[in-house]
Amino acid sequence: MGQAMTDAPAPPLKLFNSLTRRLEIFEPVHPGVPGDPANPPEARVYSCGPTVYNYPHIGNMRAYVFADTLGRTLSFKGYKLTHVINITDVGHLTDDADAGEDKLEKAAAEKAQSIWDIARHYTEAYWADVKALNIRQPAHWSIATDYVPQMIEFAKAIADKHCYELDSGLYFDTSTVADYGRLARHATDEGESRIDPVDGKRHPADFAIWRKTPSGEKRQMEWDSPWGKGAPGWHLECSVMSEALLGFPFDIHTGGIDHREIHHPNEIAQNQAHSCSADSGARIWMHNNFLVERSGKMSKSSGEFLRVQLLIDKGYHPLAYRLMCLQAHYRSELEFSWEGLGAALTRLKRMVMGVASARQVTDKNPHGNVPDDIREGFDREISNDLGTPAALAIMEVMLGRSDLGSVRLSLLEEMDQIFGLDLLKLTRADLRIRPKAATITEAEIEAILIRRKEARAAKDFATSDKLRDELIAAGVEVMDGDPLGWDWRLEA
Ligand SMILES: [Zn+2]
């Protein structure tokens, strides 16, 4: 696809590797056979997925918009993509290190439900968010509990040289591998200070790869192992599933920046132990930054949990949140506010209106001149560590150029393969703010507006004002003279 966009050689894809802390040109593990369409270069990507004990927060979903943007970029650049996202349904403690309880067991106890039902319920909720945000389906959703036998085999293979057994489980000795924690920024201070001590651990950073069920207890999820009944550790799951589905090593491992300090260093330590090498398991490790909410107003005071469904209930199209993610570079913090979401929605509306006006052009030259700089500029920005903010701006400038005629639509289609904003399908009506709590229907609003227009035409301003007040009382803001041509909107 990248090659199709321009005759000039496509710029190489550069990605920021958290492991080396610099931009690197992407060199696939499986480069294919140049010039042979049956053997394209491959990109194999593993993304740490959700622990399905609760609804995903929109901040969690930023990680999957990022991983999806990476996957779309790799497809755009001509790589055959194999993407894996795991579902952690066992083994993730309430603390990333070894303290706390299993998140799923805890949720099951609190809700007095079967742990399997809870996992299914929240997996489906996560998949609904994936769909709402137009995140492409990965090649595999790997479910942790499907891989327990392989996890036990992996642990057996490294147990003698790299692990020691305590009453609570089988622990990985982090001093047995070279450069433990090289991925983390502060492995010795910040990282370790967050780890609660477990009796008998040789080093604070050592971690459980198998957790034994305490004697006298019965867990809903437990398996037999050489170390007794128990469950795999969360870190072990990702090492095992990534290798099982993508081989060793594979190309790119992604996750939220919080995984850079404990989870991913521990995966790397296991991978080094299992491969008897210094190989981290992935050529490039990529991390998206946090979503922050400085006002502190949203989730706490109102008791509202900030998830995609809440945005939808308040009337926002979920792709406005996707655009909000793309407006920031994935390595920058993204600040969330309702005003910011509203601004992203307005920007999305402008794009959709740009598409509508490009559609009205009836030139007979749909494959007309496209200045090379548009395509090249776009490819260059997106190839520069997924420069979505600049690439979005290039697309908008392109849409506004009436001299390009209807060729804008085919350019837009190519560019939107990266953004995933569905710009050729979205309509103005799709993007109206429509709060779930609204008591008035769109047909009712439109009917009142027609009567108001008639009253104004007849200079009956008393009736026109009365109708406007009626709309305001129902939460409808009448937008006379709105530059985007929106006649009204419902208050969120
Ligand atoms: Zn993981």
pLDDT in tens, 106-164: 887 787 788 888 899 999 999 999 999 999 999 999 999 999 999 999 999 999 999 99
pLDDT of residue 99: 67
Q: Give distance in angstroms: CA of 116 to centre of ligand 1.
A: 20
Ligand 1 centroid from CA 151, angstroms = 14
For 355, phi and psi rounded to 5 degrees? Answer: -65, -45
Mean pLDDT for the stretch of residues 450-475: 90
Contact 490, 438 (CB under 8 A): yes
CA of 396 to the centre of ligand 1 (A): 36
* 184 CA distance to ligand 1 middle (Å): 15
| pLDDT over 70 (residue 391) | yes
Q: If you measure from the C-alpha of residue 30 to the centroid of ligand 1, how many angstroms do you get, rounded to a whole number?
A: 23
Looking at the predicted structure, is the pLDDT value of residue 365 above 80? no
Distance 386 CA to ligand 1 centre (A): 22
CA distance 353 to 94: 46
Alpha helical stretches, state H, 85-212: 103-111, 115-132, 148-162, 192-193
Whether residue 368 is predicted with pLDDT greater than 80 in this model: the reply is no
So what's the pLDDT on residue 363?
66
Q: pLDDT band for 6, please (50, 70, 90 cuts).
A: very low
SS (H, E, C) 446-476: HHHHHHHHHHHHCCCHHHHHHHHHHHHHCCE
CA 147–ligand 1 middle distance (angstroms): 14
One-letter amino acid at 483 equals: P
Could you tell me which residues come within 8 angstroms of residue 39 by beta carbon, excluding any fewer than 6 positions away?
Answer: 32, 33
| pLDDT, position 95 | 67
Distance 374 CA to ligand 1 centre (A): 38
What's the 266 CA to ligand 1 centre distance in angstroms? 10
Six-digit token string for 417? 């393969």
Is the pLDDT confidence value at 177 over 90?
A: yes
Q: Separation of 70 CA from ligand 1 center, angstroms?
A: 17
DSSP code of residue 232: E
Closest residue by Cα to residue 305 from 317, 319, 293? 293
Query: Could you tell me the distance, in angstroms and rounded to a whole number, from the CA of residue 303 to the centre of ligand 1?
Result: 30
pLDDT over threshold 70, residue 469: yes
The residue-averaged pLDDT of 178-185 equals 88
What 8-state DSSP symbol labels residue 88?
Answer: B
CA angle in degrees (0–180, nearest 5) for 405-409-410? 110
Spacing, Cα 49 to ligand 1 middle (Å): 7
| CA 51 – ligand 1 centroid, Å | 10
Q: Measured in angstroms, how far is the CA atom of residue 63 from the centroid of ligand 1? A: 12
DSSP string for 237-260: HHHHHHHHHH-SSEEEEEEEGGGG
Give distance in angstroms: CA of 56 to centre of ligand 1.
Answer: 16
Q: How far is the CA of 377 from the centre of ligand 1 (A)?
A: 35
CA of 366 to the centre of ligand 1 (A): 46
Q: How far is the CA of 264 from the centre of ligand 1 (A)?
A: 7
What predicted TM-score, i.e. pTM, was given to this entire model? 0.90
Q: How far is the CA of 88 from the centre of ligand 1 (A)?
A: 8
CA of 265 relative to ligand 1 center, distance in Å: 10
Residue 150 CA to ligand 1 center (angstroms) comes to 16
pLDDT of 1 above 60 = no
Q: Report CA(60)–ligand 1 centroid distance (Å).
A: 13
Residue 369, helix vs strand vs coil: coil
14 has a pLDDT exceeding 50: yes
CA of 148 to the centre of ligand 1 (A): 15
Question: How far apart are the CA of 282 and the centre of ligand 1, in A?
Answer: 13
What spacing in Å lies between the alpha carbon of 91 and ligand 1's midpoint?
11
Average confidence (pLDDT) over 329-337: 96
Arithmetic mean of pLDDT, 302-309: 81
Tell me the CA–centroid distance for residue 321 and ligand 1, in Å: 24
C-alpha to C-alpha distances, 286 to 16, 83, 253, 351, 396, nearest whole angstrom:
7, 14, 6, 30, 28
Ligand 1 centroid vs 242 CA: distance in angstroms? 9
CA atoms within 13 A on the CB side of 107: 24
- Assess whether pLDDT exceeds 50 at residue 12: yes
* Ligand 1 centre distance from Cα of residue 267 (Å): 8
